[in-house]
Amino acid sequence: MPAGSDPAAVALPRTWRPLGPRVAAAVSVGVLLLIMVFLWLGFDAETRASVTTFQRGTVIALMLLGFATLYALIRSRVDAEMDKLIVVNGYRRHEYSWAEIVAVRMPPGAPWATLDLADGTTVSALAIQSSDGARARRAVRQLKWLVDRPHGDG
C-alpha cells in the first residue's frame, strides 16, 4: 500500500446499499410468485371457479403489501455527498450536514449501522446491514472516515 494512502478513504459522491436483504427480497418474490402460480394451476376447474372476486382481491392486496414491504427494505440507502449525508430508510428520507453527525457505529451483534447526531439522537442506517459482513464493516469505516475528515473536503 502506498505511503499516506488510507484504505477507508472514499471519493464523493458515494452510495451504500444493503446486499443480503436485496438478494433475499428478490429470491423471496420469485419463489412466492412461482408457488402462487403452481398452486393456482394445481387447482381443478371447479375449485378455481369457486374463488370469489373478493378472495382474489384479498390475495392480490396481501401480495402487494408484501412487495411494498420488501421494496421499502431494498430501496434503503446512504448517499454521501460533498456537503451532506442522505439516509433513506424504507420510505423515509433524511438529510444531515456533515457537522450534524458525531459518530458512526455498528457494535458486534447490531443488525445495522447507526449514526450519532449532535442533538443527542441516533438514526439507523438500514443500508449498512451487519449481515453483509466485511462489506458492511468497510462501509462503516468509510463513513467514519468521512465524518472525521475536515468538513468541506471531498
pLDDT at 18 over 80: yes
Per-residue model confidence (pLDDT) at position 3: 43
Query: What is the CATH architecture of 76-148?
Result: Roll (2.30)
3-class SS letters over the chain? CCCCCCCCCCCCCEEECCCHHHHHHHHHHHHHHHHHHHHHHHCCHHHHHHCCHHHHHHHHHHHHHHHHHHHHHHCCEEEECCCEEEEEECCEEEEEEHHHEEEEECCCCCCEEEEEECCCCEEEEEEEEHHHCHHHHHHHHHHHHHHHCCCCCC
pLDDT at 104 over 50: yes
Q: Which of 50-54, 67-71, 111-115 has the lowest mean pLDDT?
A: 67-71
Residues 66-78 have pLDDT tens digits of 889 889 988 999 9
Alpha carbons 61 and 67: distance in angstroms, whole number = 10
Which residues touch 93 (CB under 8 Å, ≥6 apart)?
A: 86, 87
Q: Which grid coordinates are listed for 60?
A: 392480490
| pLDDT bracket for residue 152 (50, 70, 90) | low
Alpha carbons 21 and 17: distance in angstroms, whole number = 9
Q: Would you state the torsion angle of the CA atoms of residues 65, 70, 75, 78, taken in this order, to the nearest 10 degrees?
A: 120
Q: For residues 49-65, give the mean pLDDT.
A: 94
| pLDDT bracket for residue 151 (50, 70, 90) | low
Q: For residues 29-46, give the mean pLDDT.
A: 91
Per-residue model confidence (pLDDT) at position 74: 86
Q: Which grid coordinates are listed for 77?
A: 440507502
Per-residue model confidence (pLDDT) at position 6: 67
Domain ranges of the chain: 20-73, 76-148
Alpha carbons 126 and 114: distance in angstroms, whole number = 8
